[in-house]
Structure 1
């Protein structure tokens, strides 16, 4: 899984601020987000909880899916997350990361 194309959604908390992106190294990218190594939107708004991810066969396919998700309205994105993660659990824990120290529960903005 370390080097497989992937589109992922991070959230500040349940129904909080969303961030959609793509990577070829999900574990490495999650580490960067959690440690604040990626300056900008996610570090500024505390968006560190992995709530959805999809592996892809190629980077082109992952980028196509990312663009598709970014065009969706917010309700569709929330529905997608809740279809596979009803409680908005931090899926990074299942990938070997420790629980976040201070989870956020709400936010008003969305980046996608």
Structure 2
């Protein structure tokens, strides 16, 4: 389960994947190719939060829970995990 944002950290996308590096690359490629996805529309490609799960059902349940949260609660979760709100995708992507 992961959260990505735009360069200004104003919009969030919460998703689930079994391969975070591949999924981050897809988000990046969609922006470059102008695809009509939510993430591409809002230039969401910077990883700011992630959690690992053994079972996909638990990851999906967590994703749904977070999607129901208010913005301030999501921001607090991100800040606890990533205090400086840094972009974390470099550790997953190959350049």
Contact 1:11 1:19 (8 Å CA) reproduced: yes
1 or 2 for the larger relative contact order (CA 8 Å, sep ≥6)?
A: 1
Pick closer, same or farther for the CA change 1:30–1:22 going to 2, 3 Å: same
How many equivalent residue pairs? Answer: 92
Question: In structure 1, what is the Cα distance between the partners aligned to 2:88 and 2:94?
Answer: 9
Shift of 1:13: 3.2
Alpha-carbon displacement from aligned partner over 1:58-97 (angstroms, at most 9, x marks no partner): 1101000001101111101000111111222111112244
Q: 2:27 aligned with 1:33, yes or no?
A: yes
Summarize the alignment of residues 16-95 of structure 1 with structure 2, pairs less than 5 Å apart.
16-36=10-30, 39-95=36-92
TM-score under structure 2 normalisation? 0.87
Higher percent of residues as helix: 2
SS for the counterpart of 1:46 is coil
TM-score under structure 1 normalisation? 0.75
Question: In structure 2, what is the Cα distance between the partners aligned to 1:13 and 1:58?
Answer: 31
Contact 1:15 1:78 (8 Å CA) reproduced: no
Q: Which of 4, 7, 14 is the equivalent residue of 1:10?
A: 4
